Structure 1
């Protein structure tokens, strides 16, 4: 049930369309009692809104003069910006899309015809390409946001790395970050007793606990996430120099990647140099570079070249085995 203030604002928005509306029409539209409509209009008139009432068969309520054309809360540019922002939020997997949709529907519902036409034209002119998130991840994001606001500890089951081993821990969520197409939660891990970040798509279960926490006032989830995912300095002696040659569009994609872009130390036409952690060269880097095929050539280090050869050979062997099975005569399959 909407509050009196919400009802008053809704009536004001509806009358701004310039149309004459009866108390019954307003009542039906807002699903409130007719007496409530009259009380709200009396309050609006008392606050200075120039609403006039015409009696008779063609009667109803109207707003006088230029008030109907003046911006109410949001002008045209602000309305356009809100609609565009909603497109980005929904495509990024914003967990409260239902409420967002209701808000945008209200914005469109209570604008006049000219404003609505402009909104529809602007909203159809912008798109975002982003993999959709599933319902479970959306539910987890909602739980995380609620726990952050209430300072409530969560029991979390989290699948680690490539093997998918699930570990249960108590976790104090301090913030949620959307970065490079992924949602992360950052906070204090009571199992490891340190600040950690977790990818939301790897969470398998969340439960509220009876424990509570206080979030540090100067905490920055974004800052912690970047410090944990990216090397502190490109001059770290433990980092390995990676030199690659390739087509310019391939190198551009590498420069935009969250890890490679940060690790770039030198570039020239057709070549780029990065400084990366050794563990990443044995883990995900070969699998990230593999799809580029011959469009990319690794000049150094040798350890990455050998790892690429190993991974490629393993994939080639896998498909050779599949191919040999598919062409084996049926009579030989005993």
Structure 2
């Protein structure tokens, strides 16, 4: 283990609040006891208030005021970080190896009581997400570096259903967004001369270039992504009212959906009213509503009822062939 890691480990041990001997430290870290003395001296020289007590019940400890200072994590902070790490791993966090190293340190440098508490909290904490493609990890790592260091990257990118026809592009990654179990990069595309969203899993190859870019300080990848996902309505007078009744739990689920919830106008115990543009009302919405079966019912507009009947009829014809 590197010197800095060993010194940090000693600091964690001393932070437990109980005395510990140089022999115990050397055994736990598997280093020579003389090395322990050198590390203790180095910590003292850096200003760490280490108390050394001689005798049969002697050992090293930290000054109490230093233990209570917010230098190291308390048990609640450790629990929060470890549980957040579980969520990050399931989302395909690009720096997973570094994350594993960090969480192992949090567990390793906890006293026995803390280890028990952390184990109990982690044992009942699970996150289940869509199984990701492990081959995407190098792409995410390269994108993360490019975003942080303002490097343009060259990518081979394919659109949906056109994997055999990938396009070579140079992009300036402005940010990364995790949405609906998928990773995206928001980047300026040199080919299209505009800012676009790119699905990370559709990037077949990625290579850093020597070119650097400068993005606007007030640019937000999140705001750009959400604005494209849910653009502002220009003609509010042209919105159509959609009234749906149904079981309360089905309406709850419908109203919490990212798209439908954005257009929700009014909600009662057995009814929900939405305001939608005609295009989305007759294209995306019918297919989405069919997944709720008979748990909901469209009251108006009649045009949507007709569209639902047409979609179901097409499906019947398709499967009766």
TM range (shorter): 0.7 to 0.9
TM-score (norm 1): 0.79
Contact persistence 1:92–1:132 (CA under 8 A):
no
In structure 1, the gaps of 5 or more residues are 322-334
Structure 1 position 9 matched with structure 2 position 14? no
- The structural deviation recorded for 1:98 is 2.4
Question: Using a 3 Å threshold, how does the CA distance of structure 1 residues 182 and 293 change in structure 2: closer, same or farther?
Answer: same
Q: Which position in structure 1 is the counterpart of 2:242?
A: 242
Contact persistence 1:52–1:61 (CA under 8 A):
yes
SS at match of 1:184: strand
Question: Using a 3 Å threshold, how does the CA distance of structure 1 residues 235 and 264 change in structure 2: closer, same or farther?
Answer: farther
Q: Which position in structure 2 is the counterpart of 1:207?
A: 207
**What whole-Å deviation, never above 9, does each CA across 1:189-235 have from its counterpart, x for those lacking one?**
22222222233344444332333211211111111112111131385
Question: Using a 3 Å threshold, how does the CA distance of structure 1 residues 204 and 247 change in structure 2: closer, same or farther?
Answer: farther
- The structural deviation recorded for 1:78 is 1.8
Contact persistence 1:20–1:59 (CA under 8 A):
no
- The structural deviation recorded for 1:258 is 1.3
- The structural deviation recorded for 1:168 is 4.0
Contact persistence 1:241–1:275 (CA under 8 A):
yes
SS at match of 1:115: helix
Structure 1 position 128 matched with structure 2 position 145? no
Q: Which position in structure 1 is the counterpart of 2:61?
A: 63
- Higher mean displacement: 62-71 or 270-279: 62-71
Q: Which position in structure 2 is the counterpart of 1:330?
A: none
Alignment of 1:250-265 (within 5 A): 250-265=250-265
- The structural deviation recorded for 1:60 is 9.3
CA RMSD in angstroms, aligned pairs only: 3.3
Q: Which position in structure 2 is the counterpart of 1:316?
A: 316
Q: Which position in structure 1 is the counterpart of 2:224?
A: 224
Q: Which position in structure 2 is the counterpart of 1:105?
A: 104
Distance 1:163 1:293 in 2: 33
- Higher mean displacement: 223-232 or 300-309: 300-309
Question: Using a 3 Å threshold, how does the CA distance of structure 1 residues 163 and 5 change in structure 2: closer, same or farther?
Answer: closer
- The structural deviation recorded for 1:90 is 2.3
Q: Which position in structure 2 is the counterpart of 1:288?
A: 288
- The structural deviation recorded for 1:146 is 1.0
TM-score (norm 2): 0.82
- Higher mean displacement: 217-226 or 287-296: 287-296
Distance 2:62 2:137 in 1: 45
Contact persistence 2:22–2:37 (CA under 8 A):
no
Alignment of 1:30-69 (within 5 A): 30=29, 36-46=35-45, 47-52=47-52, 62-63=60-61, 66=64
In structure 2, the gaps of 5 or more residues are none
